[in-house]
Structure 1
Amino acid sequence: MSVTDPHTLAGAYALHALEPDERVTFEEHLALCAECRQDVAEFGATAGRLALAVSATPRQALKRIVLEEIAGVRQVPPRTVRRRVATSPRSARPRRFMLAACLAAAALGGVATWQHQEARQAREQAGRAQDSADQVAAVLTAVDARTHAASLPGGARGVVVTSASQNRAVFTASGLDTPPQGKVYELWFDEHGAMRPAGLLDSGRSDQMTLMDGTIGQATGMAVTVEPAGGSKTPTLPPVGLISFPA
């Protein structure tokens, strides 16, 4: 697609829908345009809210529980003709009704508890996502927002936006290669050579924007390293990317 005005690319960029050459061009423009940074933040926050509105996160143990229950479920027996045995209505019917009532009460109680837990977890996740989106928008639209960029391995590009007034930083990666099996990209604040953990990137996404964990504090720059899954307290390998914050 050919677009001469980069301002029209903000929505597509927020949804990761740009071609690689368009993304590079727009990111160069984004570093100089506060209006587009605000548009990208607002489009991204809106997309996140829409996704949360239809998302449903199952419990981590749900798959294990289902597989365990399957092993104990009886198969349907073959259809056969059985003789009807007369039973006393005063003895069999009440027992059947009581058993059915107990099973129904137990099932409904379990469903209600599960639904309540799922709803509470969904609200908590939505609240955390909303807070993060608001903080990202605050950094990107701050009057003192400053953009710093650097090249990453494999032709990828890293851009970090810092705001002294917000004391936070937002990192954007584009064209990032998938890390090796069992590894993850970890972000760090560089405080005069001492590295402070600042969060993990999503290994399944080549393009992403994230609010770095913690405040900028005395950091003079940031780094990206490849760490074991789950991250590390200190870097285990030399950085694959370094970005200095101008004084």
Structure 2
Amino acid sequence: MNPQEFRDLSSGHALRALSPEEEQAFKAALAAHPEWQQIVDEDLAVAAELGRSMPEVPPRPELREQILGAIDAAPQLPAQSTAEQTAGAADPEPAAPAKDDGTRSRRTWRIGAFALAASVVLFTLVLFGPSMLESFAPKAPAVAALQEIEAAPDAGSETAKVGDATATLHWSDSQGRAVLVAKDMAPAEKGEDYELWIVRGEQAISLGLMRPTDGEDAMFVTDSFTPGDVVAVTVEPAGGSPTGKPTSQPILAITTA
């Protein structure tokens, strides 16, 4: 996942507009790139300021994907990069006050971008209805990652059974990413969650929770994949393992070596 893709997810996370699969991809990417935490902090601050400046209006559930689509179309990264390059050329070693001003400027711009994205969604809905926005909806991160993996010359895949369900892991060593596609996987029992792990030697690294929906394929992506990793799924207490390590034997384990 590149920084621009992460910014799209971070914006959706700040707006609480990500699907479970997108939230899982967001957490996995942040775990793999802790230096991107600054992006998350800025987006959360922007979302908070935007929330204080907007009147409270009950949102329509179907606007989630449409708002994400509008945010995805906003030119966030180029605008920020240009501002940073200009500031760097004018003052290679800015004093603390100048840095604060730059942060406020970026934050103000992103508030405008968030508000503009929401305005575009509402305006389009009024003129054309939801069907128009659906045709411009962006690909989910897992779908885009799966397409890139399948196009890679070193693409690999392995399928395993989980009861009546099947789970197929797609991966590419050169891309350093993997996508798990679960078909017909029943939701976890009440008070429990599925948790996805990468097992690397003796170390188990959590990739977040899996919350499949009845009748729908579930896709989960990781950008912290390395050759030879084992991708496993365990059943954990609701909310995930309290210890940060698997508390039960895997119900699924796929080796990529």
Question: Shorter-chain TM-score category?
Answer: 0.3 to 0.5
TM-score by length of 2: 0.44
Higher Cα Rg: structure 1 or 2?
1
- When normalised by structure 1's length, the TM-score is 0.46
